[in-house]
Structure 1
Amino acid sequence: MTSRTVAQLLSDDISLQEVEVKGWVRTFRADRFIALNDGSTINNIQCVVDFENTDESILKRITTGAAVHIKGALVESQGKGQKVEIQVNDIEILGDSDPKEYPIQPKKHTFEFLRDNAHLRTRTNTFSAVMRLRSSLSFAIHKYFNDNGFYYMHTPFITGSDAEGAGEMFRVSTLDPKNPPLTEEGEVDYKEDFFGKETNLTVSGQLEAETYAMSLGKVYTFGPTFRAENSNTSRHLAEFWMIEPEVAFMDLAGNMDLAEDFMKSVISYVLEHNKEDLEFLDERLAKEEEKLPQAQRSPMGLIEKLKFVVDNHFKRVSYTEAIDILRNSKPNKKKKFDYIIEEWGADLQSEHERFLVEKHFKCPVILFDYPANIKAFYMRLNEDGKTVRAMDILFPGIGEIIGGSQREERLEVLKEKMAALDIPEEELWWYLDLRKYGTAVHSGFGLGLERLVMFATGMSNIRDVIPYPRTPQNAEF
């Protein structure tokens, strides 16, 4: 007999059949009722043990966390809360779990405690739901790009360039840290290192993706990126996953069209395929919101927020128009914002972005044409000489979720921008070559997977949407 998943047993019309199932015990009460879960669904299946005909030594080993193999009859449940249950005919203990030591007991645990036990936290409803959604979102991302003619590109993790120009990169080296080779000037001689030059872990695959877009047309990357930013906030990780499409012959307007269609597609996918997980997380978030002061509560529930994105057209607004709106807004005039908007050129904060989405336009917003001095060197300079063809997509509850731009395709302009930022041409000679040999308009954007998972699950800390978070002073597991 083939073992079935709990999800199959709860969804298929196969009652009154002999079945097999394997999973982990969530609870065992009255020496009779096992709540069994195997990770395939947020729901448990109840397994009813005939304790009078079950060996006492087996009963003692049915503890929270134990792995079991159950055989029995799937029948209509006599109790409330489930349609079917299993009348157990045979139970085998596959792996014991010491009830005195097992950390994930059937009670409420703090997220801090669960981070310390991240290897077991997916045995809880919240984290199993979050990680199933992360998996579904990842699949939906690949599906969207595959269905739309994109080629999946694997960009290097080890690089000699800094795509963002921020300098917050992890160094990759095989040199002896206690006795590295030195130059005549007394500096570390990286010519003696493994790669013959100073190298780092990548912060973005964008620059390499641009090279492939300029021959394959439409490509995307989806992989880990790294940022050595010493930040312990709820929004920062040292290791995170990025989705970065790049498209040849596409301008900023096309980039905005692509990003909007993409986001609606992946969110629609989880609304359709992860209903039970979303309903659970929606209810969890509502309970958490009840503990907050009214002013701090989200204006929308989780599922409502996801449908808000899918059902609304994304309003397109220039940065200049947004600054005027914010400068004249009540929160700004009454100094309710933590960061008061006083003049053009200000770098917008999450509170400003959320105001535009949730209060002013009441729909997702795409801001475009940002000041050049607050954006990256590779973004195309506009004719006014002070703004670039950048875009950010703003969502309710989170603010910016996507950042992108039309890329600077003009060789001399790109050289001037690099020189102004002290970016050596010899470091990016290959990137400049794209502007020499068949240059053309091209665009792309970046989406942090963890930011998307936070939005889709209602989780407030980025450490809780990645299996094993890497943060300052923490590389456990």
Structure 2
Amino acid sequence: MQRTKVKDLLTGAEAGKDVLLKGWVRTKRGNKYVNFIAVNDGSTINTIQVVADANNFTEEALKDVTTGAAVSITGELVASQGKGQAFEVQAKTIEVLGKADPEAYPLQKKAHSLEFLREIAHLRFRTNTFGAVFRVRNTLAFAVHRFFNEKGFVYMHTPIITASDAEGAGEMFRVTTLDPINPPKTEDGQVNYSEDFFGKATNLTVSGQLEGELAAMAFSDIYTFGPTFRAENSNTTRHLAEFWMIEPEMAFYDLKMNADLAEEFIKYIIRYALENNREDIEFLGQRLTEEDKARPQNERQEMTLLEKLEFVVNNDFERVTYTEAIDILLNSSHYKKKKFQYEVSWGIDLQSEHERYLVEKHFKKPVIVTDYPKDIKAFYMRLNDDGKTVAAMDILAPGIGEIVGGSQREERLEILVERMKGVGIHEEDLWWYLDTRRFGGCPHAGFGLGFERMVQFVTGMGNIRDVIPFPRTPQNAEF
């Protein structure tokens, strides 16, 4: 007999037939006459109830059917007589495929803190919360590829090992095969990376953008979707050392076209998740609402998770320049009453509290902020005619702040070289990048979306460590 997944059993399509069910026991309850076993196989947030009649199953036969055990069950799928489920399985055979010692199994039928579940990340997928989170993550990843494929973009795999620092921040993980205790040295006492595996100093990438630009100069429209790394010693709810980035690059695009595409992209993948993971998102929304009740009244969310997501999908994003955004903040009652923790003035890098004020209090919709001061943005962003700002954009979303960063790229060779000099990047280090401006360069643009930030936004999870299967953070590389 072919196995049927729980998700499909619950539709009732197999009602009246014998079915084969395999999964893990969530709970077992009963008496000397009958036992009720809740089984889940990860295909849905819901469990299916298996009824084991005492006439067919002795207490001894069911002693290993405990929470966490893997089971194989055959029986008839019938309409349920109880509340809470439409269909159940009247068991005919129950085989325990893998026992779970009830004294040692850490996931019992009680609420576990997210902190505790991070310590057992290898098992947390089995909980309702993390089952829902990672099904949503899977759907969002598929939607990313679907969106770009429908638009004719080429999926480009950019290198994980690189000799360049796209962000210019220097917070990169070194990749080397040299002896860590006695590495070869140059005459002036520096590590001699010419003897390393690649013949030069190399790192794990912080971005695939620069290489993506090379591909866009041939294919017009490309995107990358892969792991990126940053050795930032930050233990916050917003930072990971290993995270995934989606980075499209488009030839012949200007800043407005870039912003329009990013808005369309965000709405598309959220809509796709709402259509395909409604039950998971509803469950996560209920969880968030319960969590919100414990907060002070002034810190509670104004919208439920579903309302927030539908709000983003159904509203045009507001567009405002950085200079206009600063003026709004300076004229706000929030600023005048000194409610901002960080100072507000032209030239600052907007903090999360500033971004969220613009989105949640002032405009009450997602916001695209453009034309930032050049001194707080990367060297590759196109210099505006005023000489002070660059054609950059950030998309700000309710509850999380910045979710997308992008820009029109600097296509003018002379200006790009000057910008590189200004931040200490040597021409010889990026000769290949400059070649795209020497040989058939054109106006082009792109953006980056931190995938975990998007998963956080759609699931409502407060800590970014809870939306990636195995978080990598300072002092933590378990599993």
How does the TM-score come out when normalised to structure 2? 0.99
Amino acid at match of 1:368: T
CA deviation after TM superposition for structure 1 residue 351, in Å: 1.0
Give the aligned partner of residue 289 of structure 1: 292
Deviations 1:9-51 (A, max 9, x none): 0124332211111000000112500000000000000000012
Give the aligned partner of residue 469 of structure 1: 471
SS at match of 2:418: helix
5 Å-filtered alignment, 1:145-156, equals 145-156=148-159
Give the aligned partner of residue 330 of structure 1: 333
From 210, 213, 218, the counterpart of 1:215: 218
Give the aligned partner of residue 6 of structure 2: 6
The answer on whether the counterparts of 2:374 and 2:388 sit within 8 Å (CA) in structure 1 is yes
Amino acid at match of 1:180: P
From 136, 143, 151, the counterpart of 1:140: 143
CA deviation after TM superposition for structure 1 residue 59, in Å: 0.8
Give the aligned partner of residue 254 of structure 2: 251
Aligned partners of 2:354, 2:280: CA distance in 1, in Å?
A: 31
The answer on whether the counterparts of 2:212 and 2:222 sit within 8 Å (CA) in structure 1 is yes
- Point out the more displaced range, 411-420 or 50-59: 50-59
The answer to whether 1:123 aligns with 2:126 is yes
Give the aligned partner of residue 420 of structure 1: 422
Amino acid at match of 2:247: E
The answer on whether the counterparts of 1:51 and 1:59 sit within 8 Å (CA) in structure 2 is no
Give the aligned partner of residue 180 of structure 1: 183
CA deviation after TM superposition for structure 1 residue 139, in Å: 0.2
Amino acid at match of 2:215: Y
Aligned partners of 2:273, 2:54: CA distance in 1, in Å?
A: 41
How many pairs are equivalent?
Answer: 476
5 Å-filtered alignment, 1:436-455, equals 436-455=438-457
CA deviation after TM superposition for structure 1 residue 53, in Å: 2.2
Aligned partners of 2:171, 2:38: CA distance in 1, in Å?
A: 48
Give the aligned partner of residue 162 of structure 2: 159
Aligned partners of 2:11, 2:412: CA distance in 1, in Å?
A: 57
Give the aligned partner of residue 263 of structure 2: 260
CA deviation after TM superposition for structure 1 residue 298, in Å: 1.2
The answer on whether the counterparts of 1:58 and 1:93 sit within 8 Å (CA) in structure 2 is no
CA deviation after TM superposition for structure 1 residue 299, in Å: 1.0
Give the aligned partner of residue 82 of structure 1: 85
RMSD: 0.8
Deviations 1:414-440 (A, max 9, x none): 000000111011110000000000010
From 53, 56, 80, the counterpart of 1:50: 53
CA deviation after TM superposition for structure 1 residue 270, in Å: 0.5
Amino acid at match of 1:54: F
Give the aligned partner of residue 389 of structure 1: 391
Amino acid at match of 2:401: G
Question: Which segments of 5 or more consecutive residues in structure 1 lack a partner in the other structure?
Answer: none
Give the aligned partner of residue 19 of structure 2: 19
CA deviation after TM superposition for structure 1 residue 474, in Å: 0.5
CA deviation after TM superposition for structure 1 residue 149, in Å: 0.5
From 229, 234, 241, the counterpart of 1:231: 234
SS at match of 2:470: coil
Give the aligned partner of residue 205 of structure 2: 202
Give the aligned partner of residue 273 of structure 2: 270
The answer on whether the counterparts of 1:219 and 1:246 sit within 8 Å (CA) in structure 2 is yes
How does the TM-score come out when normalised to structure 1? 0.99
Amino acid at match of 1:253: K
Deviations 1:433-468 (A, max 9, x none): 000000100000000110000000000000000000
Deviations 1:398-426 (A, max 9, x none): 11100000000000000000001110111
5 Å-filtered alignment, 1:295-334, equals 295-334=298-337
- Point out the more displaced range, 172-181 or 49-58: 49-58
Question: Which segments of 5 or more consecutive residues in structure 2 lack a partner in the other structure?
Answer: none
The answer on whether the counterparts of 2:12 and 2:87 sit within 8 Å (CA) in structure 1 is no
CA deviation after TM superposition for structure 1 residue 229, in Å: 0.2
The answer on whether the counterparts of 2:27 and 2:109 sit within 8 Å (CA) in structure 1 is yes
Give the aligned partner of residue 354 of structure 2: 352
Aligned partners of 1:337, 1:15: CA distance in 2, in Å?
A: 59
